[in-house]
Amino acid sequence: MSTYRAARSLPACWRAAWFSLVTAPSLVLFLLFMLLTFNNSVTGTFLDAARDLVVDAPPGKIWSCAPPLSTPVEKVMPQGNGIAAAPPDVRCERAAIDAIAWQKNVDRLIRNLYVTVAFAGAFFWWFFGSKPGVPEAAEWAGRKVKSLHKTLQEKE
């Protein structure tokens, strides 16, 4: 494949990158926003969550749900009719955790959600979108990688 054909396929690769990195995540964010605002106020939800995290918390700490310290060790035994009893209701206990650690954890969660949606968008675009020129660009990139690998082996 000539460099001219590879250059012609670059717009298709640009469209794929734009869809997977910008359009798909923004569509998912918009749909999540619509779901949040469908039944209640987004601002009220955020304020309630913020109050739950910081009200009466020590400085530099926030309240979070931790596993209970005394977990029940009851076994679920079948009743006389052979139906298993319902497992005990395990609730979490409110515990103060470091605010910076919680912030890093939530940031990582948001970043992983974005990466997952970006990969899903790329998958969706690849299988359902128009992709003229992409196979040629992939073939060209594969040949370039092979030639680079070959030159690196020759230098060793």
**C-alpha distances out from residue 71 to 74, 94, 117, Å:** 9, 14, 36
User: CB–CB of 19/129 below 8 Å?
Assistant: yes
Write down the pLDDT at residue 126.
75
Write down the pLDDT at residue 5.
67
Ranges of the chain with pLDDT below 50: none
User: CB–CB of 124/25 below 8 Å?
Assistant: no
Write down the pLDDT at residue 118.
92
Write down the pLDDT at residue 66.
76
3-state secondary structure of 94: strand
3-state secondary structure of 62: strand
